[in-house]
Amino acid sequence: MLDKNPEIIIGDDLTPVQIKFEQNNPNIVLCSKPFHKIEFLNRLINSTEDPIIFIDMDLLYTGYVESKMIQKKENLTIFCPNKTDWDEKLSEIISKVSKDRFLVIIDSFNGIYNLFDDLESAIFINSCIMLLASIGNHVNSSVVITGMARKKENDGWILSPGGRHIIKSEKTCVYFLKKTENNLIISTLDQTDGKK
């Protein structure tokens, strides 16, 4: 498990990562390169048989699917909400997630905060995410949120660009994703912003 092994090389078997995601809700996966994020999400999607809801706020994943660079799985439903239809799409997603087990992916914090740029909207978005995670706990769904981030000295992890802080709760687990020459590696970050 990730707690005993601070870094896991992500290969074909994502079972240890999926188990960890099921134990915590929501799960936040931070990285510094958008292509690493997409590679990880594609591997995660391909490794699950559960139905998947993908909320694409930055449209990067959708672009790869529409260009046929990534093949869309049959168990994947992609939502691309905007500021005007956010409430309607959220209601539809909550309705689905409250009935069955899903993997819910929100990609990404950066896209959400670009869409909703004031403090009240940020509080609303965080509440929506916590609501999805709470509903997900009742049906054993996992909620995974991505974000492009960097570590700021004496200030912890912040979204990049923008500088917003990452939401945290007792049940939130935060990970950092990086790529070495040939491997994607995921490591757990503790609540004090150090590596576990």
**Where residue 35 sits, what CATH number does that domain have?**
3.40.50.300
- DSSP string of 62-96? HHHHHTTSSPPPTTEEEE---TTTHHHHHHHHHHH
Give the whole-angstrom CA distance, residue 106 versus residue 166: 14
Give the pLDDT confidence score for residue 93 in this predicted structure.
93
Cα separation, 170 vs 115, in Å, equals 27
DSSP 141: -
Q: What is the pLDDT of residues 103-154, one digit of tens each?
A: 999 987 767 766 666 656 667 777 888 888 889 888 989 999 998 876 666 6
- In a domain, residue 125? The reply is yes
- Asked, for residue 157, whether it belongs to a domain, the answer is yes
Domain count within the chain: 1
pLDDT tens figures, 62-119: 999 999 999 999 999 999 988 888 889 989 999 999 999 999 999 877 677 666 666 5
10 lies in some domain: no
91-110 exposure pattern, b = at least 16 Cβ within 10 A, e = fewer: eebeebbeeeebbbbbbbbb
Largest CA distance in the chain: 44
Residue 80 lies in a domain: yes
Range(s) of the domain holding residue 144: 23-189
Model pLDDT, residue 155: 60
42 or 1: which leads in pLDDT: 42
Identify whether 120 is part of a domain: yes
Write down the pLDDT at residue 5.
Answer: 45
Please indicate, yes or no, if residue 18 is contained in any of the structural domains: no
Helices (H) and strands (E) in the chain, counts: 6, 9
Residue 16 resides in a domain: no
Q: How many residues does the chain have?
A: 196
- pTM for this model (two decimals): 0.85
